[in-house]
Amino acid sequence: MRQITRQPEHPGVVFLEDVLKPLGLSITEAAEMLGVTRKTLSEFVNGKSSLSPEMALRISEATHTSAESWIAMQDKLTLWKARQSMPSNVIMFPGIDAETEDEIKEG
């Protein structure tokens, strides 16, 4: 599996730049339309809070996009951040080799 070397974009920044700005919507207007507080939306578009499944559904409904695509963006970012502080004390289980590892990944 390919490792992401640079930090993925926060889904809130994508939402701000690719949806709100082109539509000319303010944070206040968009928050009202999404049924959330201005503070909640502001924290999200400024990358200060993660995307929740509920927010993904709200954005999906308002933009006719898939909630899964928004969740995938958040997952990539969350996993990237976790990899930046991967613990060095993890030891591979006995009996796991490259072939077994591939089988596990394939499910």
Supply the pLDDT for residue 12: 98
Supply the pLDDT for residue 106: 67
Supply the pLDDT for residue 25: 98
What residues does each domain of the chain span? 11-86
SS (H, E, C) the chain: CCCCCCCCCCHHHHHHHHHHHHHCCCHHHHHHHHCCCHHHHHHHHCCCCCCCHHHHHHHHHHHCCCHHHHHHHHHHHHHHHHHHCCCCCCCCCCCCCHHHHHHHHHC
Class of domain 11-86: mainly alpha
Supply the pLDDT for residue 97: 78
**Residue-wise pLDDT tens for the chain (107 aa)?**
556 689 999 999 999 999 999 999 999 999 999 999 999 999 999 999 999 999 999 999 999 999 999 999 999 999 999 999 988 898 889 988 766 656 666 66
